[in-house]
Structures are given as C-alpha cells and as structure tokens.
Amino acid sequence: MDCAPVQKLIDGPGWIYEIKLDGYRAVAVKWSGSIDLFSRRNKSFNAQYPYIVESLRDLPDGTVVDGEIVALDDAGRPNFNLLSQFRSRASSICYFVFDLLICQDRGLTRLPLSDRRELMNSHLNFYSPRIRIAEQFNVSGTNMLAAVRQQQLEGVIGKRKDSFYEPGKRTGAWIKYRVNQSQELVIGGYIPGPHGFDSLIVGYYRGEDLIYVARVRNGFVPASRRQVFEKIRHLVSPTIPFVNLPDTHKSRWGDELTAEKMEECVWLRPEAVAQIEFLEWTEADRLRHSKFAGLRDDKDARGVVKELGSI
C-alpha cells in the first residue's frame, strides 16, 4: 500500500501517525520455515541484508509483514546515505515492521489498521535488536509535526485507523508529509565526465509525461559515480525522455539545459531512480542546489511524482 503525498498534514481523531522512515520499503514472508525479504518491485533483499533475514527467524510460520529497511546514524536517526555503506555500517541497519498482512495463514488485509496493529503487537516478538516494531503516535498532527521538526527527521506518515490494506494502491487513507527537502527522481540522462558522468539529468512524472527538473552534480565521490554509472550505462536510448526540453528560459543559477547544451547529453530509458536532496523548488519548477543521496532500487520509476512539503 502506498502513501499519497500531501501539502498539509491531515489532522483529526480518525488518524494516527508514524515517523517517516528514510530507507528501503520491504515485505518479509516466512513460509515453511523459509524467510524471503523483497522490495515492492519484487527484488530480493536476501543476499544484500542476510543479517536482517536471519533476525526475522522469530516470525511465526505463514506470516507476512510490511516494513522498512533503515540505517540509523549515531544519534539514532534514519539516514538513507548510510544504506549504501551497508558493508561497513551493517550494525546500524534495522528492519522496522509497521504492518501485519498475514498471520499464521490468516489474511488480515480486510481488517482495520487498528486491529492489525493489535494483532501485530500480540503475535510478533523479536529477540534481535535489528527488528523493531515501528511506533505509532496517537497525538494531534500539529504536535507530531512539531516533534519531527525538533528531531530533524524526514517527515510524518498519517494513517486512518480504520483503513484496510490495499496493496499497490494510493487511496489517501495513508499519507506522507515531508519536512526536509528530498525526494525520489527518475534518471533520464547524463552528461559524460569522470568515472562515467559529470551530472545526472532527473525529473518526475506528471501523468504520462516525464518533467525535467535538475542536473545533479553534487553528492558524488569517485566510488559512487562508478556505482551509479554501472547501474545506468545499459539504459542508453536515442530518445529524449523529457517533454519540457530544451529549456527556453534563462536560469539565474546558469543550470538550464539549452538545445546547445543538450548535444552533450546521453539519454536513458527512464527506469533508474535516485534519491535527491535539494534546497528548494523554484518558481520555474526546478530544483535549487540539488545533491545526490543514493539510488532507489526499490522504487518504480513510473510511480515517481512531485512531492511537496515545507522546511
């Protein structure tokens, strides 16, 4: 089930809130004693996070849970950048469970969220500190938002207490509100440079159209450039995927993609997704001071839309 992005956090007695965890969404299944951990795109995480899989042995057989793989920094805050350093930061990576979909062969998706949470708290017991139950807060949206801002966290998830679990849908019964300025964007091309590329060309979907918003040059080191280039080099395409290029306006920051500048670009099939941090959206629907944070192997490019929050 997906969260709908909102510009204002919905409040009221029918809502409950969670901290927005900045990691990889993952579903865990225990069936006939075997554990499978996979992304919403059905990509297996078993080889990448074997210590999470091993720690999920406490799941009852015939059980399916939804959650998030998260790296925690030294202050205990989720930090997406650390996920790319999983070999050196393995001890900081946890799996937060926030929903119970099947429990001992009993399907629960048509039960209200409040009932699913009660069953989750009564039936799931994990001995490993790597596996945690995501906390819910029965407070006002205003107080939740203030606490998240004070702790410098990414944002807030709001869920209707009576919501069913509807896989793959964004019904508005689950919402997300970002506090920081960061979101997933589709990589539609690059400008060649050291270690494969100088900058990534990124955008989001508006309906069927891919909208260009930024050339991202910052946030890379040689190792991450090579890693990203290996992920995108096979996607080369003769077609420009963005509907709003070339740029016809002048940018005060000099980062526009004119027809002349586009001659340097290598275009890609819009399949790869990156997490991008930035200072703000401009009036021209561009990102100011964008910075690469990591690749999002768990995201479907067609589902990447513009998300609005406030600092």
pLDDT at 234: 97
Q: Enumerate the β-bridge partners of residue 78.
A: 72
pTM of the complete model beyond 0.85: no
Stronger pLDDT, 62 or 298, i.e. the higher one: 62
For residue 89, is pLDDT > 70? no
The proportion of the chain whose per-residue pLDDT surpasses 70, expressed as a percent, equals: 95
pLDDT, mean over the chain = 91
Sorted by where each begins, the domain ranges of the chain are 4-178, 182-303
| Best CATH choice for the domain 4-178 from the list 3.40.50.720, 3.30.470.30, 3.40.50.880, 1.10.645.10 | 3.30.470.30
* Residue given tokens 């429990």 in the structure block: 103
Which two structure tokens, joined as six digits, stand for 196? 């494969």
pLDDT at 82: 81
- What is the Cα–Cα distance from 103 to 304, expressed in whole angstroms? 31
For residue 252, is pLDDT > 60? no
**Predicted confidence (pLDDT) per residue in 215-234, tens digit:** 999 999 898 899 999 999 99
Which numeric CATH code is attached to 182-303? 2.40.50.140
For residue 149, is pLDDT > 60? yes
- What is the Cα–Cα distance from 163 to 181, expressed in whole angstroms? 28
